Structure 1
C-alpha cells in the first residue's frame, strides 16, 4: 500500500517521535533490529539501510538517516567521518558521488530537511542524534557537513567562521556528541555497573575521565574512562579516592581516619584496597599509564 506523496515528512515525524519515546535519559541507545523493524501505518519501514551507511528509501527524494558503524578504538572506521575545526561533522560519501544514497544527501541539503544520525556504541547498538541537518556539500572532498544543533545550521562553512563562532560550535559538538558517546561507550563496556561499588542503576552512573577531557591527552576513549556511580565519580574527581595502575582502589589517608555516618564508612572507606571491576574486553581496560599519571596526582593531594 503506498504511503502517499508526503512520505518523507510523515516518516521523519513518526520516526523522531518514536525515538523520543524509546530513547530515555536512562537508556538512550537503540538496537539495530529495532531500527530495521520500525513500523508506520501498518507496514515495516526500516530507519537504516541493511547494508549501507546512508538510508535513502525508495519513494523518497532525500536521505532519511546516516549511520556510523561501531569500531573498537584500535580499528579503523570504514568511512573516515570526523569532526572538523569548525565543529561540524564531515560524513563521507559512499563510493561514487553519483550513487543514489549520496544524491539523497544532496537533496536533503537542498530541501533543508532533518535527518537522523545513528552512531555505533557497540556491535548493533546505536546512540541516535536527531534532528541533524546537511549544511554543505563538499564535492571535492566527497563529503557533506552535518550540523548537530540548530545554532550550527547558521555557521559559515566557507572558511570565514570567526574564532568565537568556531569555539562555540566546538563546544556544542563536545556537549552533544563527544560526551554522550563517551558516556555510553564506557557504561556499555562496564555492563552498566559502577566499577567500585557495583551499583547497577544506569541513571546513577557516569563515565569518569581518568585524565580530564580539558587536557590535550584527555581523549574520549574507553581506555581513558571508568564507569562510576555519581558518589564515587565525585570522590575520584576530588582525590578522595585514587586508583593505582594495578586497578586497586585507595582511600585518602585523612578520609580513612574520619568518623561520620554510614555513607562515609560503607560508601567510601570500605573501598580501600578493593579492585576495580574491569570490562570483559581487555582493550576496554583503563590504560595503566593514564592511571599512573592520575594516581600521582592523587598522591600529591594526600
Structure 2
C-alpha cells in the first residue's frame, strides 16, 4: 500500500522516522568506523519500540508501510572489473542519477521515490563498499524526476539543491558541482573500499591505525585515468602516502618498493631510517582477492614517473 501523504499525522510520523533513523546512524557510524553491515540495517534500528529495517531485504528502495514516501535507496557493491547493473552516473548538470526499479514509472517503489521528490524529503543513501557492507550518505534529496530516462536526479549536498535541473553548466560551475560529489560520495567510497580490500593496513609498513591511513591513488586523481577504483588505489599510512605522492619512493610493477637514491644516502633521525629507508626493496602487502590487486599498467605508468625523478 502506498500512502497518499495527505494526512498531517502521517506526514509528521514520516519526518519523525527519518530524524530518528539519521540520529541512529550518527551514533552508529563514527569517523573510525563509518561502515554499517546489512544485518544491522535489517535488525538493529527501532522506532518507538518497534523494529524498523532501514533497507529492504530484496530491493534497493526502502519504504516502510508507516511512511508516506521512500526512506532510503541502496547501491549494491560491484567488484572491480564487473559492470554495475545500475549506472548511478552524473549527467550534463553534474548531478548523480538514481535509476528506477524496472521500467515502469508507476511501479510502487518508483512512486515511493516520487513522493519523496515531490515533498522534498531527505533520504539515506546506502552505498556498497563490499558485499553486505555499506557507507551511509545522508541526507540526500531527489531534485528531479526523469521518467523518460527512468531515473531521478540526486543532490548529495544542500548546495546542489540550487543547481537547475538539466542545466548546461560552464566549466567552473560543473567543477564546483563535481567537487561536491567527490567530497560527499566518491572520495569516501574510494577510501572505504580500498581500506576494506587492504584489511585496514598500510600496504608498505602494515600500520593498522585507521585514523592514520589513507586511500592513495596510483594514477593521480587529477589525471583523466585516475579513476577512484580499488585497482587504482593503495592503502597507505599518511607518511607513506605523502612520500609516494612526492616520488620520495616508488612502486615497481612487480610490487617492490624503491626509495629514491638521495633519500637512501641521507643521515637523519629514526623516522627517515625506519620509516623510509628500510622500505627499500620490500614488497607490498597485497589484498587477499587478486581482483583488488594494483593494476599493473597503472603501476608501470606511475613507476615511470618516479624513475624519471629519481
Relative to structure 2, which stretch is displaced further, 93-102 or 262-271? 93-102
CA deviation after TM superposition for structure 1 residue 162, in Å = 4.4
Say which of 209, 213, 231 aligns to 2:217. 209
Aligned twin of 2:37: 31
Out of 16, 22, 36, the position equivalent to 1:10 is: 16
Q: Could you tell me which residue of structure 2 aligns to residue 74 of structure 1?
A: 81
Q: Secondary structure at the match of 2:254?
A: coil
Q: Match of 1:73, SS?
A: coil
Do 2:92 and 2:166's aligned partners in 1 also have CA atoms closer than 8 Å? Answer: no
SS of the residue corresponding to residue 270 of structure 1 reads helix
Kept after mapping to 2: 8 A contact 1:155/1:161: no
The DSSP-based 3-state class of the residue aligned with 1:83 is coil
String of CA shifts for 1:36-94, please: whole Å, max 9, x gaps. 11112111100111111000111212110000000112112222221223221111110
Where structure 2 has 5 or more consecutive residues not aligned to the other structure, the ranges are 1-8
Q: Are the equivalent residues in 1 in contact too, given 2:126–2:136 (CA < 8 A)? A: yes
1:280 alignment counterpart: 288
Aligned pairs (5 A) from 1:21-170:
21-37=27-43, 38-95=45-102, 96-170=104-178
| Structure 1 residue 296: Cα displacement | 1.0
Query: How far off is 1:192 after superposition?
Result: 0.2
* 1:165 CA displacement: 2.6
Q: Deviations over 1:161-194 (max 9, x none)?
A: 4443322111111121111111111110000000
Tell me the distance in 2 between the aligned counterparts of 1:109 and 1:13: 17
CA contact (8 A) 1:209 1:218 kept: yes
TM-score (norm 2): 0.94
Q: Distance in 1 between matches of 2:219 and 2:191?
A: 15
Shift of the alpha carbon at 1:212? 0.5
RMSD: 1.3
Q: Which range moves more in the overlay, 280-289 or 157-166? A: 157-166
Partner Cα distance (2:243, 2:164) in 1: 42
Structure 1 pair 112/4, CA: closer, same or farther in 2 (3 Å)?
closer
CA distance in 2, matches of 1:163, 1:290: 28
* Preserved CA contact (<8 Å) 1:91 1:143: yes
CA distance in 2, matches of 1:131, 1:221: 24
Stretches of structure 1 lacking an aligned partner (at least 5 in a row): none
Give the distance between the partners of 2:29 and 2:18, measured in 1 at CA.
16
| Paired residues of 1:54 and 1:101 also in contact (CA < 8 A) | yes
Question: Once structures 1 and 2 are overlaid, which stretch shifts more, 33-42 or 249-258?
Answer: 33-42
Of 29-38 and 161-170, more deviation after overlay is shown by 161-170
1:85/1:170 contact within 8 Å kept: no
